[in-house]
A and B are shown apart, each in its own frame.
Chain A
Amino acid sequence: MPNVALRMEHVYKKFLKGEVYNSLRDLLPALTGRMFRQQSLNNEDKREFWALQDISFEVKRGESLGIVGPNGAGKSTILKILSRIMQPTRGSMLVNGRLSALIEVGAGFHQDLTGRENIYLNGTILGMTKREIDSKIDQIIEFSGIEEFIDTPVKRYSSGMFARLGFSVAAHVDPDVLIVDEVLSVGDYVFQQKCMDRMRSILERGTTVLFVSHNTKAVTELCTQSLLLRHGQTAMLGPTDEVIRNYLSESRAQGAVVTNKSVYISQVKVRGSSGERSTFESGDTAYVDVEVIARQPREKLAVVIWLTDDKEYIIFDTSTERLGYEPFSLQTGESYHCTFELTLNMAHGSFNVCTAIYRYDIQKTYDSQLAALTLFIGSTMAVRGAVNCFPRLLEAGTSALAAPSVAADF
C-alpha cells in the first residue's frame, strides 16, 4: 500500500465574483450586449478571485492534518477540491483509498423520513453499502442516544438531535481518509466529548484525517501537523502547537494594526508568578497587564477584561471600575497601566483573554482586543467540563438497602 494518503501539489483555484447570469432571460441580452462592447472582456479579469494559490501538502497514511485560518482563507475550498466536488483550476491532487467527508452533518437527511430511514439514506450517501449499515445500525442508534425517537420523522427532531444523528452516521463510515469540517461543534457538552473520543478512536484505527476547525483546542488534540492558511496561501505548515500559536498571534497582530483610535490598548501581557507565559495549571494564579495609550484626551475610562472559551462564549468578565477603581482620564500622549490578578479555576482547555477600553456612563467602547492572548490550561484527568470545582472524594462505598424502606416506596 502506498504510504501517502493525501497529496496536493501546487493547487490553484479561481472563482469569478460579481454578476453571474443565472437566467436565460438575463444571459441572452448580456451576450448580445457583449458583442458590441469590447471592453467588457477586460472587466472579466478584475472579477477573478483566487481562493487558493499554490497549496501543496502531503499527509501520510494514518496521520492527521489540521487546517486552520480565518474565515475566507480557503479552508473549505481545499476540502471541496479533495472531496472532488470542485476541480482545481491548476495543480494536481491525489487521494489513496476511500474518502469520506463529514462536511455538513445531516446534509443528506430528508425531513419526512424517520431517523432509521435517514440512517440508511445518509449512510449510503456517505459511501456505505446496505449490508454495512445493517451491521452497524444498532451501534449508530446507540451512539446517537436517541433510540426513543428513531422511528419518528426527523422534522420533529430538535436541532441537537438532528445533528447528533448526523454525526453518528458519519462517524461510523470507516473510510481510509476522513475529512472533517466543523462538525464536532454539535450537540451538548457530553455529546461533544463523545465525538472527540470517537475521533480519537478513528485515528487510532489508522484512518487518515484532515480536520478543519475554528476550535483550536480540538485541532491541537487531534492533529500532529497543521496547515495555516491566509488569503488562500500557505502561511505555515508544521507541528500543530507552533501553527496554532502562530495563528493566534497573527490574528492578534491584526487587531493592533489599527492605530487611528483616540485611545488604544498598546499592550496585553499574561504573567505567572515568574514571568510571561501562556500555559497554566488549573488553579494557578495569573497576572494580566494592560497598557492603554491616548492620542487625544479622553475621560471616565475603564479597562475591561474578559475570558472566552474556544467557542467565543464569555465565561468571565470584570473591569477596573467594577473592582472599585475610579474611572481614569488621559491627556494626549499619556498612558495608563493596570494589572489584574486572576485565579484560573477553569478546567482543561484554551481560553482567550479579551480586553477593551470602555466608558460606562455613555456605554462607549473605544478600543478592544478580542482574543488578545490565549491561555492554555493543562489537562487534569480528574475533571471534565468548563470549570474546575476542585473536587475531593470524601466518602464512597457500597451498602445494602434496608428492605423495609424499599417496600414502603411502592
Chain B
Amino acid sequence: MLKELKELYKYRGLLMMITYRDIRVRYKQSVMGFMWAVLMPILIVMSGVVIRYAYALASHAPLKTADIGSVAVKSLPWAFLVSSIRFSCYSLTNNWSLVTKIYFPKEIFPIAAMLASLFDFLVASGALIILLIFLRPGFGLSLLWIPVLLIAMVLMAVGVGLIVSAGSLFFRDVKFIVEVFLTFGIFFTPVFYDVRMLGEKGKWLELNPLSPIIEGFSACIIHHQTPNLPWLGYAISVALLSCFGGYAFFKHLQPAFAEAI
C-alpha cells in the first residue's frame, strides 16, 4: 500500500488538475455559478426547519434559534457526503476513455470527485459562517474538534467513494443502489433531528457511522459540547477502515478496469 500511496503522491499534479477540471466544468456552464454550492445546503436547511417546526408544534416546545443553527450546521457535511459519494460513483464510468487508454493511478478520479465536492463544501461553509454571525452561537474551546470531524468526514467520503466507483464499473446497478441509499439516507442520519429526540432507541441510529460525525458538528459549534467520544471513536474507526479497506479493494480491482468497461 505504501508503494501505491507513493505513486499517488507522484501523480498529485494530475489529481489537482482533474479536481480543477471537475470544479471548473461544474461552475462554468451553470447560470447559478457558485450558487450551486449553497443551493443544496439551503434546501436541506429549509426542509429541516419545516420538520423542526412541525416537531415543535407537536411537542408544544418553542422552536429555538439553536435548533435552526443545528440543522444548518449538520446539513453541510450531509450535502458534502451525498455529493461526494454520488460524483465518485460516476467518476470512473464517466472517464472511461482515460481509464482504458492511459496509465495512472485511477483512484485519482474518485478522490478528485471528493475534492471537488469539498470545494463546494468550503464555499457553502462561507455562507454558513455568515448565517452563524446572525445566529450568534458564540465561541468556545469545543470548536477545536472541527478539524477532527472534518478529517473523519473526508476519510469516510474517500472510502465509500473508492468502493462505489470501482463497484459501479463492474456492476451497472451499483449506481442505482447508491442513489437509493443517498436519497433515503437522510432519514437514518440525524440531520433534521437530533439523536436524543428518539430517546433510548436513538442509540441504534448512532450505529450509522455518519451520525456521530454529523452530530459532532452541531455539538461543538452550536452547543459548545465535546462530541460523544465513544461514538466518535467508533465513527473514526469505521472511516479509517473504509478508507484503507476501500483503497485496498480499489487497487486490487484496478488491473481489471480496462477489461471490465
Chain A residues within 8 Å of B, Cβ to Cβ: 15, 20-25, 27, 80, 83-87, 101, 103-104, 107-108, 110, 112-113, 117, 120-121, 124-126, 129-130
Contact = CB atoms under 8 A, between A and B. Distances in A.
B100 A85 contact: yes
Interface stretch (B23-31, B36-44, B200-208): B23-31
Contacts of A24: 171, 173-174, 177
A113 B24 contact: yes
B13 A80 contact: no
A104 B97 contact: yes
A25 B255 CA distance: 24
B234 to A, nearest CB: 28
B32 to A, nearest CB: 16
Interface string B2-19: 000000000001100110
A27 B171 contact: yes
Contact of B171 (A23, A86, A108, A124): A23
Tier of interface size on chain B: 20 to 34
Contact of A107 (B18, B98, B170): B98
Residue of B13, B24, B29, B177 contacting most chain A CB atoms (<10 Å):
B13
Contacts, number: 70
Contacts of A20: 260
A84 B13 contact: no
B252 interface: no
A140 to B, nearest CB: 16
Given A23-B171, A112-B28, 9 more contacts: A22-B172, A23-B172, A23-B173, A24-B173, A85-B258, A103-B102, A113-B21, A113-B24, A125-B17
Interface of B: 13-14, 17-18, 21, 24-25, 28-29, 97-98, 100-104, 170-174, 177, 255, 258-260
Contacts of B177: 24
A85 B21 contact: no
B102 A108 contact: yes
Contacts of A27: 171
B172 A83 contact: no
Given A87-B255, A126-B102, A22 B170 contact: yes
Contacts of A83: 102-103
A244 B25 CA distance: 46
Residue of B17, B104, B177 contacting most chain A CB atoms (<10 Å):
B17
Contact of B25 (A101, A112, A124): A112
Residue of B13, B25, B29, B102 contacting most chain A CB atoms (<10 Å):
B102
Contacts of B171: 21-24, 27
A121 B17 contact: yes
A112 B103 contact: no
11 contacts: A21-B171, A22-B170, A22-B171, A23-B171, A23-B173, A85-B100, A85-B102, A113-B25, A121-B21, A125-B98, A125-B104
